[in-house]
């Protein structure tokens, strides 16, 4: 029975690859949440700008305009931070994809090595089987040859009267 010497390492690499895939999924979820937050802030920012524009066309009060300006500045800062969080999260996704790719490559290397060793084991096993069958056939042939030789010797050792008669042609060679 074939036993791959590096099977435990292969299993550990498979587990590592699965862990990296889970990390990638988490990173993608975090990036998606960051994008949703940024988009929600961008939408709030756009509606606040529209409110400021509407306030300028109406009879604006200075306190109201100032308050809207402060809200817009705060939203600008939050939107900027949200954009940075999205960039960091997307960089994390790219890094996690690279780590997963490396882990997958490492596992595939061992998988190919295992396949190669398995094929080599099967070829050696087939060769051993052929050698064994050849030895059996040779032994059988030798036994049969010895038996025929013994039979021929026993036939030759009989007196002529007991020997089987074969027609002889004493005349011409035709």
- The set of long-range contacts for 45-52, using a CB threshold of 8 Å and a minimum separation of 24, is 45/72, 45/75, 45/76, 45/79, 48/72, 48/75
DSSP code at position 35: H
Would you place residue 157 in the very low, low, confident or very high pLDDT band (cuts 50, 70, 90)? Answer: confident
Whole-structure pTM value? 0.65
Backbone angles phi, psi at 24, to 5 degrees: -65, -45
Tens digits of residue pLDDT in 47-73:
888 887 787 777 767 787 788 788 889
Give the C-alpha separation, 121 to 14, whole Å. 23
Cα gap 105→119, rounded to integer Å: 21
What is the arithmetic mean of pLDDT over 9-37? Answer: 96
Q: Tell me what pLDDT residue 51 has.
A: 81
Non-local CB neighbours of 118 within 8 Å, separated by 6+ positions: 2, 4
On whether the CB atoms of residues 76 and 3 are closer than 8 A, the answer is no
Domains belonging to the chain, first-starting first, are 7-113 (1.10.287.620)
* Token pair in block for residue 9: 């390492």
Q: Is 18 helix (H, G, I), strand (E, B) or coil?
A: helix
């Amino acid at each position: 029975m074939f036993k791959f010497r590096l099977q435990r390492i292969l299993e550990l690499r498979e587990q590592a690859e699965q862990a990296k895939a889970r990390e990638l999924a988490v990173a993608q979820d975090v990036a998606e949440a960051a994008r949703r937050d940024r988009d929600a802030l961008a939408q709030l920012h756009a509606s606040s700008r529209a409110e400021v524009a509407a306030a300028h066309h109406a009879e604006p009060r200075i306190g109201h305009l100032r308050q809207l300006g402060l809200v817009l500045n705060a939203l600008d800062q939050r939107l900027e931070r949200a954009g940075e969080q999205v960039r960091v999260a997307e960089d994390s996704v790219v890094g996690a994809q690279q780590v997963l790719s490396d882990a997958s490559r490492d596992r595939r290397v061992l998988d190919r090595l295992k396949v190669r060793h398995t094929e080599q084991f099967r070829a050696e096993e087939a060769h051993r089987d052929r050698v064994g069958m050849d030895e059996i056939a040779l032994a059988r042939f030798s036994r049969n040859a010895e038996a025929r030789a013994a039979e021929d010797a026993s036939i030759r050792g009989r007196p002529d009267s007991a020997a089987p008669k074969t027609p002889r042609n004493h005349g011409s060679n035709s």
